[in-house]
């Protein structure tokens, strides 16, 4: 019989990493209790999962690790409400439930052979991290052209995955540019919003697809800049967030027009989004 | 398709036989004088004269509160699924048809919902054709009708002295054959009488223009009528909770000590909290967007996604809205 | 009793004048609904459309429920800057509705100077469910009122049925203590007297005289019908909280299920928050599609406050609500000697 879609895979929190100065964003490293679950949980960057603490609730989070990181799953979670506060209070060793993977990943088939421009803002960088790790895996890197990453946060202390950012900036095969809205005395890189860095770098739209994840306001301005740079609507790939419960197209909570973000998304091209009502 | 006849006087015998197999819910009058599907004791004769029940039978398939998982010492367990049979007798054709809509979401959807699937599997629906529709009924405009048996396992039509029974599904066939000794063959006269009665009921129902509603609602997305129509909406859940096709739900956890459960409960798109994000942002911030969502879901989104209207014209939302809103009004205004 | 059609004409004149002279931005009244025995609230902004205004025995909705949302305080200073100026609103109010409007003024939810209270002396409104039940298995196609105030109904087979008004009037109306609005800016219709002003007490007294077990059993029996649709709360003009305790998730005080424990807490919380605030309009009970008398508890607690503090909500715009006021000689032994 098919697995009950409401029954989570049992997993354990292996490690908790504080990501930012405000200490309201943490990355959780999860290991499945049963190695078989890890095999069944077959995901691609861009997908999400429902995490739950028994009796404390359940909520959807983008998968921040790449399937090439085979021993664990990563989720980066900002503390905002009931469940997120609860999970922020637990320590390594805590049991946790994982349902998924859910949703449509980034369009990896279309992305093959293309240059990629990856634009992230704030804590929405999670699935973009998964994408970058996936692309940089030796088995995958040759499938893609040049990789340009632009990542911004409000302050240097709010940038996540700092060690990896440093590592990526140092290595070949990827070009990573960082920016912060408000620099401090140690900051030597770009200062200003993401779009100002985008304007300065002027990436070419030629044979290039863009992945954009960030707060709504950043997305709005980024779309304008991308249009100016000549990117077409079907070359821009976005990931949406809606309130979700079931994650499997039944509870009726996450629709935008006739699309269910949990099933038909969360990844959409800008062209697809343009055909939907603006209720997001 | 088997067609049989049973005299009204033998109905109690039929119910008795069903009771031997499982739980039987049949129409009975409650203290307040309303007829409701009731697990009545044997000696109550089945009520045949009623319009429709206040509550739709959807709760038999999608209970208002349903335990999805239980927790014990931090471990999640699946609750055991019911395996006894249930018989719903006297469900109206609109409400039976609504099951086909729910099936699209909970059975045909990928993945299927195991809880709904089990309740659907163990429940047999015997519908009873309507003879006296209400002024709020519009089933004939949304692909149904007072004598439509779609969604039911058996359709019964009340005649002068008999009920005509028509099997609609293999489950219905099995049921009729299991009580064959109580049944007589349907005569041509009985079939004709049934047709006449259903036809008479049909003629009493005022049509609502819903042809091509998906296209017309696409065109009417920005119509000012949403604002005017929704001004009076109080934001309660009466329409959704009484509607036989509304199926949106919430999932919440409960914990007491080391034991708890994950429970799903009916929810409603008219509630502001339904779509409120953690950040405080709300994609459907006012009654306008929320009321539009309800109509769009039923008459456009469901058509686009599942090729089916999610309204069966039962009129419950119209009769029971505390502000007397009527979705037929906006459908007319939009020509949808 | 002033005939309904005269009241209707006066309401239309009043609305026309107020809107034409731009003394109000919005006139809140009633319009005929699509089904018999019902009206639907009408938000009127143009003097040309006053013919849509209706007055008949089916004007049940307490229109005061719409006032708080029209005067909602801006969420932030930034929003306040962009917020349009507050509207001036005329609203049609029956006796009980007027109490709600005044109570909202008392509780600082709506500014009195932005309101034009159009009071109608109310002969008691028809309860849809009573009317439909009185017809048995007949279906009304249309309903109107005769000169005596009785209800004429045309049923599906074309016959006419007369339903005596007092048999189908809402419970809240039967026991209404103030059918003529106090303190209106405009009063339409000859003042009327309450039919059975002691009725309200009788029902709650009867409830109170039962044993504790019987009271509990009665409540459980009634509440077992509840489907948690929130209609009672949403129809109540005094339930305006921006974030209702019953919706809160951090922590979640009340479970979302229809288990008796959750349903009971839901109703007890609502009742407690109505102590000294319920205006006895019966909107909650009428809104309940399951026919639960949600008013029993709220009214009981209203009466407790009345007995303890001599306070009834919505009787004067200048008096502080009982729960907002404190006096050294306030009754308090109910706290210490339960
Ligand atoms: C596809 C997808 C991917 C996502 N990926 C990530 C990710 O990678 N990382 C991440 O951090 N988040 C992510 N999110 C967002 C995340 O799901 C939400 O932050 C999370 O569901 C919040 O759950 P909660 O229980 O903490 O909030 P809740 O407490 O459930 O809050 C729920 C609602 O209640 C309201 N609420 C709660 N408390 C109050 C209060 N005191 N007053 C008023 N209203 C209140 C909130 O506004 C909110 O709308 C993602 C969401 C989606 C849909
Ligand atoms: S929308 Fe209204 S009329 Fe249509 S099925 Fe639902 S309750 Fe019945
Ligand atoms: S209106 Fe009735 S059914 Fe709905 S929550 Fe209130 S008491 Fe319960
Ligand atoms: S989260 Fe339930 S339908 Fe999308």
User: Is the same domain home to A75 and A40?
Assistant: yes
d(CA C57, CA C32): 11
Counting every residue written for chain C, the total comes to 338
User: Is the same domain home to C296 and C174?
Assistant: no
Confidence of residue B73 (pLDDT cuts 50, 70, 90): confident
Least confident range of B33-47, B183-197, C69-83, C107-121: B33-47
Cβ density class A58-75: b for 16+ within 10 Å, e for less? bbbbbbbbbbeeeeebbb
C193 belongs to a structural domain: no
Q: Is pLDDT larger for residue B51 or for residue C137?
A: B51
User: Is the same domain home to A58 and A90?
Assistant: yes
Confidence of residue A216 (pLDDT cuts 50, 70, 90): confident
pTM of whole model > 0.80? yes
Encoding tokens for residue A133? 């790790």
User: Is the same domain home to A74 and A42?
Assistant: yes
Q: Is pLDDT larger for residue C324 or for residue C115?
A: C115
Measuring CA to CA, which residue among C186, C240, C140 is closest to residue C29?
A: C186
Residue C105, pLDDT score: 94
- Alpha carbon of B304: minimum distance to chain A alpha carbons (Å): 7
Q: Do C140 and B135 touch (CB under 8 A)?
A: yes
User: Is the same domain home to C271 and C179?
Assistant: no
The last residue of a domain, from among C188, C219, C250: C188
* Cα A244 to Cα A96, A252, A255, B104, C20, distances in angstroms: 19, 9, 9, 20, 48
d(CA B148, CA C68): 46
Protein residue closest via CA to atom 6 of ligand 2: B243
User: Is the same domain home to A55 and A113?
Assistant: no
Confidence of residue C203 (pLDDT cuts 50, 70, 90): confident
CATH of residue A234's domain is 3.40.50.80
* Cα B212 to Cα B140, B145, B202, B307, B336, distances in angstroms: 15, 19, 22, 12, 7
Nearest CA in chain C to B66: C257
Nearest atom (ligand 2) to Cα of B315: 3
Helices (H), chain C: 4-20, 67-70, 77-82, 95-106, 128-134, 165-168, 171-174, 199-209, 212-223, 231-235, 260-273, 283-287, 295-309, 333-336
Cβ density class A253-275: b for 16+ within 10 Å, e for less? bbbbbbbbbbbbbbbbbbebbee
Chosen from A2, A250, A275 to mutate, greatest number of chain B CBs within 10 A: A250
User: Is the same domain home to A65 and A153?
Assistant: no
Q: Is pLDDT larger for residue B96 or for residue C137?
A: B96
Q: Is the CB of B146 under 6 A from ligand 2?
A: no
The answer on pLDDT for B279 being more than 80 is: no
Provide the angle, in degrees to the nearest 10, between the axes of the packed helices C260-273 and C212-223.
Answer: 110
d(CA A136, CA A144): 10
Distance A113 CA to ligand 4 centre (A): 33
User: Is the same domain home to A98 and A113?
Assistant: no
Residue C337, pLDDT score: 66
* For residues B231-238, average pLDDT: 94
Residue C78, pLDDT score: 81
Cβ density class A204-232: b for 16+ within 10 Å, e for less? ebeebbbbbbbeeebbebbbebbeebebe
Which ligand has an atom closest to residue B320 CA?
A: 2
A250 belongs to a structural domain: no
**Residue-number span of the structural domain to which C125 is assigned:** 4-188
User: Is the same domain home to C78 and C14?
Assistant: yes
Ordered DSSP codes for B104-117: HHHTSSSS--HHHH
Q: Do A54 and B71 touch (CB under 8 A)?
A: yes
- The domain spans of chain B are 3-62+75-202, 213-333
> Are C314 and C106 spatial neighbours (Cβ–Cβ below 8 Å)?
yes
* For residues A235-252, average pLDDT: 93
Nearest CA in chain A to C248: A82
SS3 of residue B220 by DSSP: coil
Q: Judged by CB atoms within 8 Å, which residues 108-137 of B form the interface with A?
A: 109-114
Q: Residue A250: its chain B contacts at CB < 8 A?
A: 105-106, 109, 113, 247, 249
Handedness of CA B260, B262, B264, B267 (dihedral sign): positive
> Are C29 and C16 spatial neighbours (Cβ–Cβ below 8 Å)?
no
The CA angle B25-B29-B34, to the nearest 5 degrees, is: 110
Measuring CA to CA, which residue among B217, B124, B216 is closest to residue B176?
A: B124
Residue B326, pLDDT score: 94
User: Is the same domain home to A183 and A230?
Assistant: yes
User: Is the same domain home to C122 and C173?
Assistant: yes
Q: Which of A56, A81, A97 sits opposite B278 (nearest CB)?
A: A81
The last residue of a domain, from among C158, C188, C218: C188
C327 belongs to a structural domain: yes
User: Is the same domain home to C155 and C99?
Assistant: yes
Q: Is pLDDT larger for residue C25 or for residue B49?
A: C25
C194 belongs to a structural domain: no
Could you read off the pLDDT of A52-78 as tens digits, one per residue?
999 889 999 999 999 999 999 999 999
Chosen from B241, B258, B305 to mutate, greatest number of chain A CBs within 10 A: B305
The last residue of a domain, from among C147, C164, C188: C188
> Are A86 and A32 spatial neighbours (Cβ–Cβ below 8 Å)?
no
Nearest CA in chain A to C251: A82
User: Is the same domain home to A232 and A195?
Assistant: yes
Q: Do C140 and B329 touch (CB under 8 A)?
A: no
The answer on pLDDT for B336 being more than 70 is: no
A165 belongs to a structural domain: yes
A271 belongs to a structural domain: no
> Domain count of chain C?
2
C242 belongs to a structural domain: yes
User: Is the same domain home to A222 and A164?
Assistant: yes
Protein residue closest via CA to atom 6 of ligand 3: C232
Protein residue closest via CA to atom 34 of ligand 1: B278
* Cα A191 to Cα A200, A213, B69, B126, distances in angstroms: 11, 19, 49, 70
A280 belongs to a structural domain: no
C331 belongs to a structural domain: yes
Q: Do B254 and C255 touch (CB under 8 A)?
A: yes
* For residues B112-128, average pLDDT: 96
Ordered DSSP codes for A138-201: TTTGGGS--EEEEEEESSGGG-SSHHHHHHHHHSSS-EEEEEESS--TT--SEES-HHHHHHHH
Chain B contact present for C32, CB below 8 A? no
Encoding tokens for residue C154? 């045309």
- Alpha carbon of C274: minimum distance to chain A alpha carbons (Å): 28
The answer on pLDDT for A278 being more than 90 is: no
The answer on pLDDT for B198 being more than 90 is: yes
* For residues A172-191, average pLDDT: 90
Q: Is the CB of B144 under 6 A from ligand 2?
A: no
Q: Residue B69: its chain A contacts at CB < 8 A?
A: 6-7
**Residue-number span of the structural domain to which A16 is assigned:** 9-102
> Domain count of chain A?
2
* For residues C142-146, average pLDDT: 91
* For residues C237-263, average pLDDT: 90
SS3 of residue B76 by DSSP: strand
d(CA C166, CA B184): 50
Chain A contact present for B195, CB below 8 A? no
User: Is the same domain home to A31 and A90?
Assistant: yes
d(CA B81, CA C232): 34
Encoding tokens for residue C149? 């105030």
User: Is the same domain home to A150 and A98?
Assistant: no
Maximum distance among all alpha carbons in chain C? 67
d(CA B189, CA B206): 28
The last residue of a domain, from among A83, A102, A121: A102
d(CA C267, CA C86): 34
The answer on pLDDT for A125 being more than 80 is: yes
Q: Do C227 and B271 touch (CB under 8 A)?
A: no
CATH of residue A17's domain is 2.40.30.10
The radius of gyration computed from the CA coordinates of chain B, to the nearest angstrom, equals: 21
Q: What percent of chain A has pLDDT over 70?
A: 100
φ, ψ at B322 (rounded to 5°): -65, -20
C301 belongs to a structural domain: yes
User: Is the same domain home to C178 and C32?
Assistant: yes
Protein residue closest via CA to atom 35 of ligand 1: B278
d(CA A135, CA A139): 8
User: Is the same domain home to C138 and C30?
Assistant: yes
> What is the 3-class SS of A65-91, one letter each residue?
CCCCCCCCEEEEEECCCHHHHHHHCCC
Q: Which of A6, A80, A216 sits opposite B278 (nearest CB)?
A: A80
């Amino acid at each position: 019989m098919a697995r009950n879609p409401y029954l989570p895979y049992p997993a354990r929190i292996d490690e908790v990493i504080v990501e930012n100065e405000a200490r309201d964003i943490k990355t959780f490293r999860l290991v499945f209790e049963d190695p078989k679950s890890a095999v069944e949980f077959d995901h691609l960057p861009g997908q999400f999962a429902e995490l739950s603490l028994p009796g404390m609730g359940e909520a959807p989070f983008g998968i921040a690790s790449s399937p090439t990181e085979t021993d664990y799953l990563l989720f980066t979670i900002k503390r905002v409400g009931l469940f997120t506060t609860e999970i922020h209070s637990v320590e390594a060793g805590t049991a946790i439930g994982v349902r998924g993977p859910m949703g449509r990943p980034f369009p990896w088939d279309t992305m093959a052979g293309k240059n990629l421009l990856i634009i992230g803002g704030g804590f929405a960088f999670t699935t973009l991290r998964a994408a970058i790790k996936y692309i940089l895996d030796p088995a995958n890197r040759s499938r893609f052209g040049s990789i340009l990453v632009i990542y911004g946060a409000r302050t240097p202390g709010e940038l996540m995955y700092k060690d990896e950012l440093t590592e990526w900036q140092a290595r070949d095969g990827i070009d990573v540019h960082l920016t912060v809205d408000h620099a401090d005395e140690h900051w030597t890189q770009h200062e200003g919003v993401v779009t100002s860095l985008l304007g300065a770098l002027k990436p070419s739209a030629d044979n290039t697809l863009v992945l954009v994840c960030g707060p709504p306001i950043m997305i709005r301005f980024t779309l304008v800049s991308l249009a100016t740079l000549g990117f077409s609507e079907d070359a821009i790939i976005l990931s949406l967030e809606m309130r979700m419960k079931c994650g499997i197209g039944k509870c009726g909570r996450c629709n935008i027009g006739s699309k269910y973000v949990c099933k038909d998304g969360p990844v959409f091209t800008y062209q697809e989004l343009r055909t939907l009502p603006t209720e997001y | 398709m088997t067609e049989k006849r049973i005299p009204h006087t033998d109905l109690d015998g039929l119910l008795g036989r069903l009771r031997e197999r499982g739980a039987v819910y049949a129409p009975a009058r409650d203290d307040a004088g309303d007829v409701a599907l009731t697990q009545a004791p044997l000696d109550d004769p089945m009520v045949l004269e009623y319009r429709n029940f206040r509550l739709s039978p959807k709760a038999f398939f999608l209970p208002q509160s349903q335990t999805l998982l239980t927790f014990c010492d931090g471990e999640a367990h699946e609750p055991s699924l019911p395996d006894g049979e249930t018989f719903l007798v006297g469900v109206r054709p609109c409400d039976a048809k609504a099951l086909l809509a729910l099936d699209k979401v909970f059975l045909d959807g990928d993945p299927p919902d195991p809880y709904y699937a089990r309740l659907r599997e163990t429940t047999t629906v015997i519908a009873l054709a309507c003879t006296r529709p209400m002024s709020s009924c519009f089933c004939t405009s949304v692909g149904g009708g007072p004598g439509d048996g779609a969604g039911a396992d058996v359709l019964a039509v009340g005649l002068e002295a008999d009920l005509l029974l028509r099997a609609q599904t293999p489950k219905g066939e099995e049921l009729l054959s299991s009580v064959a000794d109580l049944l007589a063959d349907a005569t041509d006269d009985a079939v004709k009488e049934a047709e006449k009665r259903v036809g008479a009921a049909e003629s009493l129902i005022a049509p609502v223009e819903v042809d091509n509603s998906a296209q017309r609602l696409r065109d009417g997305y920005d119509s000012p009528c949403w604002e005017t129509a929704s001004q009076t909406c109080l934001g309660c859940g009466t329409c959704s909770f009484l509607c036989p096709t509304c199926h949106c739900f919430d999932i919440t956890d409960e914990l007491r000590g080391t034991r708890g459960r994950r429970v799903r409960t009916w929810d409603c798109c008219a509630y502001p909290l339904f779509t409120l994000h953690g950040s405080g942002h709300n994609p459907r911030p006012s009654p306008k967007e929320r009321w539009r969502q309800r109509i769009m879901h039923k008459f456009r989104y469901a058509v686009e996604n599942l090729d089916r209207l999610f309204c069966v014209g039962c009129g419950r939302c119209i009769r029971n809205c505390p502000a007397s809103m009527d979705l037929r009004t906006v459908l007319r205004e939009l020509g949808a | 009793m002033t005939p309904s059609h005269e009241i209707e004409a006066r309401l239309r004149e009043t609305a026309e004048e107020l809107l034409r002279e731009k003394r109000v931005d919005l006139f809140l009244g009633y319009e005929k609904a699509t089904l018999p025995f019902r009206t639907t609230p009408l938000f009127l902004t143009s003097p040309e459309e006053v013919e849509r205004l209706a007055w008949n025995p089916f004007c049940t909705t307490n229109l005061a429920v719409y006032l708080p949302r029209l005067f909602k305080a801006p969420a932030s200073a930034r929003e306040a800057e962009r917020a349009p100026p507050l509207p001036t609103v005329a609203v049609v109010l029956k006796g009980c509705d007027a109490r709600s409007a005044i109570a909202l003024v008392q509780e600082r939810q709506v500014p009195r100077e932005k309101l034009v209270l159009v009071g109608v002396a109310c002969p008691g409104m028809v309860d849809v469910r009573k009317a439909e039940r009185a017809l048995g298995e007949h279906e009304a196609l249309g309903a109107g009122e005769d000169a005596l105030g009785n209800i004429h109904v045309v049923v599906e087979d074309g016959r006419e049925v007369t339903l005596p008004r007092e048999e189908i009037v809402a419970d809240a109306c039967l026991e209404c203590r103030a059918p003529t609005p106090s303190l209106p800016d405009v009063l339409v219709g000859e003042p009327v007297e309450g039919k059975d002003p002691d009725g309200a007490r009788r029902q709650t007294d009867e409830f109170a005289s039962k044993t504790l077990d019987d009271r509990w059993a009665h409540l459980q029996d009634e509440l077992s019908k509840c489907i948690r649709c929130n209609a009672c709360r949403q129809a109540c003009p005094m339930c305006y909280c921006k974030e209702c305790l019953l919706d809160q998730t951090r922590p979640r005080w009340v479970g979302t299920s229809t288990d008796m424990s959750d349903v009971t807490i839901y109703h007890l919380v609502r009742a407690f928050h109505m102590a000294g605030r319920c205006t006895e309009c019966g909107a909650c009970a009428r809104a309940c599609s399951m026919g639960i008398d949600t008013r029993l508890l709220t009214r009981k607690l209203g009466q407790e406050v009345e007995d303890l503090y001599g306070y009834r909500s919505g009787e004067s715009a200048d008096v502080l609500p009982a729960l907002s006021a404190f006096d050294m000689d306030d009754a308090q032994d109910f706290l210490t000697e339960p």
